[in-house]
Structure 1
Amino acid sequence: MHKRLLILLLCLPLLSSAQTLNFFGLYPQYSQTGPITKRLNYQVFLSSTIDALPQKVDNQYYPATNLQIYAQPSLLYNLSSSVQFGLGYAYVSHNLFGIRVNENRVWAQTVLTHGITDTKLKLNHRLRYEERYPFRESMQKWSLAQLARYYVGITLPLFDPKKTKTGFYAAVSNEAFLCFSGAKNGPISAKNAFYGEDWVYGGIGYNTGKWGKVEIGYQFQDLVRNPAQDHRHLHLVQVQWATNFSLTGIADWLLTPPF
């Protein structure tokens, strides 16, 4: 018993050295989806992850900065009303408090959508395989990371979809990141744990009809940031605008006032 207590006391300094960093900011997003053929759609997704509050932790200064700029074009094929396949590319520019990394990503995904009997709830499941090719500017070196991402989201219309297409809705989601191999050129996309990242979101939105969906909510991003299993938490106000119209309708959409 005394030996176990001694071992525990010796391990306490190691446990206390673990440090979780918390950052607070904004996560604005915009997406546009439109048809190419009856079953094939294009989509463009843009986002920015902004650390809005400067802070100092253990003599380390973390300035307010734009942590990430994300641009993603993709092709989405609707096999049926509930099954969709997708292929895409993403360009990501990171500024992790002075560590600058540009990333090219390619991915393939499957999306399954279904309702729950006798409810208005809609469930979305997305399984994505992703390859990341980060280039760290200070090292002038490329690397490779391979991940699987599983997303599950629930949408609850706060209106009767059988009577109207517009109204408020609530949304919650979770996305798990599983890392098969990590980048060797720095902390961006490094493999610090197999289950290295998780995103949780809850928000409320409004379906306007022609002008798409606008949504605001809270997103919590948990990331294992180093081999010592320290974590980084991002507390973000997520603001999203999603539109859906054809290429031929862009001029009408731009010239027609929203009200």
Structure 2
Amino acid sequence: MKNWLQIAASCLLLIGLSIPSTAQTWTFYGVFPQYSQTGSVTKRLGYNLFLSSTSHATSQAAESPGVAMLALQYYAQPSLTYKVTDNIQVGVGYAYVRHNLFGIRVNENRLWAQTVLSHDITGSRIKMSHRLRYEERYPLRLSTEKWSLAQLGRYHVGATIPFFDPKQQKTGWYAALSNEAFFCFSGAKNSPISSKNAFYGENWTYGGVGYNTGKWGKIEVGYQYQNLIRNAAQDHRNLHLLQIQWATNFSLDGLTTWLLTPPF
């Protein structure tokens, strides 16, 4: 019971920190579909491919009344991971991102390196993870054809709570909670991500439920709240998103063996 209270208190604190304190905000509602494929290349070396898009609901023009979905972001990220120990993993990756933020169209390349620590909470089935990531972003603003640079640190903390005994079965329902804080070390001059806006300029909070199918991976649905300080005047953009994720996992061990085995 004590562990559950500690987790609940931590989540409430993180959510509280992410709620904007200024009156001037932009609020949107949308969807955040994701696909993640993870696998192993060797015993310690792994890979991941992550794809997502973010859209929000917007009112159409008078000649086309109703509600439409406006694409805010397309995201594609391949990465490699290396298992240092059973609980510690390091990784490097690249991401290509296309933005449409506040009428500003930006194409962006990202390079990042990270460390992930995972652990169980004693006396429970809860699995915790902590991810520290250093990220460099190179946005290209399409209207001016100018490049810039932003350097960020990101801290992600998450908890997975299975509603079944993982020692007895591999499939079943589970809950997931997470919070990610974004810290801007230097800011791009041609995108909303800037240290001139705020050092702690963005926060993502998530809660959802999922089902581990085993062979076909995990299907997860939840609510994500994203808060971004969008300019030096400390105006906030709030995104309330329905997050839908399909995560699969298969190994490339057999393919690697076949490629490295001489044909004679």
Fold shared by both chains (TM-score > 0.5): yes
1:224 is matched with 229
Which of 145, 161, 168 lines up with 1:140 in the alignment? Answer: 145
Task: Note if contact 2:42-2:253 (Cα within 8 Å) is conserved in structure 1.
Answer: no
Which of 190, 194, 203 lines up with 2:194 in the alignment? Answer: 190
Task: Note if contact 2:35-2:50 (Cα within 8 Å) is conserved in structure 1.
Answer: yes
Shift in CA distance, 97/196, structure 1 to aligned 2, threshold 3 Å = closer
Shift in CA distance, 170/186, structure 1 to aligned 2, threshold 3 Å = closer
Which of 165, 172, 180 lines up with 2:177 in the alignment? Answer: 172
2:14 is matched with none
1:163 is matched with 168
2:19 is matched with none
CA distance in 1, matches of 2:191, 2:244: 30
Aligned: 1:234 with 2:230: no
Report the CA distance between 1:25 and its aligned residue.
0.3
Task: Note if contact 2:207-2:223 (Cα within 8 Å) is conserved in structure 1.
Answer: yes
How many equivalent pairs are there?
229
Which of 209, 213, 216 lines up with 1:204 in the alignment? Answer: 209
Report the CA distance between 1:99 and its aligned residue.
1.2
**Identical amino acids, percent of aligned pairs:** 68
Stretch of structure 1 that moved more, 91-100 or 109-118: 91-100
CA distance in 1, matches of 2:188, 2:23: 23
1:50-89 alignment to 2 at 5 Å?
A: 50-54=55-59, 64-89=69-94
Shift in CA distance, 51/180, structure 1 to aligned 2, threshold 3 Å = same
Aligned: 1:46 with 2:51: yes
Tell me the SS of whatever aligns to 1:69.
strand
2:120 is matched with 115
Aligned: 1:25 with 2:38: no
Report the CA distance between 1:55 and its aligned residue.
8.0
TM-score (norm 1): 0.84
Q: Deviations over 1:116-151 (max 9, x none)?
A: 111011100000000000000101100000000000
- Structure with bigger gyration radius: 1
1:13 is matched with none
Tell me the SS of whatever aligns to 2:58.
coil
Stretch of structure 1 that moved more, 46-55 or 126-135: 46-55
Task: Note if contact 1:65-1:97 (Cα within 8 Å) is conserved in structure 2.
Answer: no
Residue identity matched to 1:153: G
2:96 is matched with 91
CA distance in 2, matches of 1:63, 1:145: 32
Task: Note if contact 1:116-1:122 (Cα within 8 Å) is conserved in structure 2.
Answer: yes
Task: Note if contact 1:152-1:174 (Cα within 8 Å) is conserved in structure 2.
Answer: yes
Report the CA distance between 1:190 and its aligned residue.
2.5
Extract unaligned runs of 5+ from structure 1. 1-16, 57-61, 251-259
Extract unaligned runs of 5+ from structure 2. 1-21, 62-66, 256-264
CA distance in 2, matches of 1:67, 1:44: 20
Structure with more relative contact order (C-alpha pairs < 8 Å, separation 6 or more): 2
Task: Note if contact 2:88-2:116 (Cα within 8 Å) is conserved in structure 1.
Answer: yes
CA distance in 2, matches of 1:55, 1:177: 33
Shift in CA distance, 87/230, structure 1 to aligned 2, threshold 3 Å = same
Which of 125, 131, 135 lines up with 1:130 in the alignment? Answer: 135
Q: Deviations over 1:76-110 (max 9, x none)?
A: 11111110000000000001243110000000000
Shift in CA distance, 137/149, structure 1 to aligned 2, threshold 3 Å = same
Q: Deviations over 1:197-229 (max 9, x none)?
A: 000000000000010001000000000011011
CA distance in 2, matches of 1:82, 1:111: 8
2:108 is matched with 103
Q: Deviations over 1:167-220 (max 9, x none)?
A: 000010000000000001232x22310000000000000000010001000000
Q: Deviations over 1:46-101 (max 9, x none)?
A: 00011123389xxxxx9741100000000011111110000000000001243110
Tell me the SS of whatever aligns to 1:240.
strand
Tell me the SS of whatever aligns to 1:51.
strand
TM-score (norm 2): 0.83
1:9 is matched with none
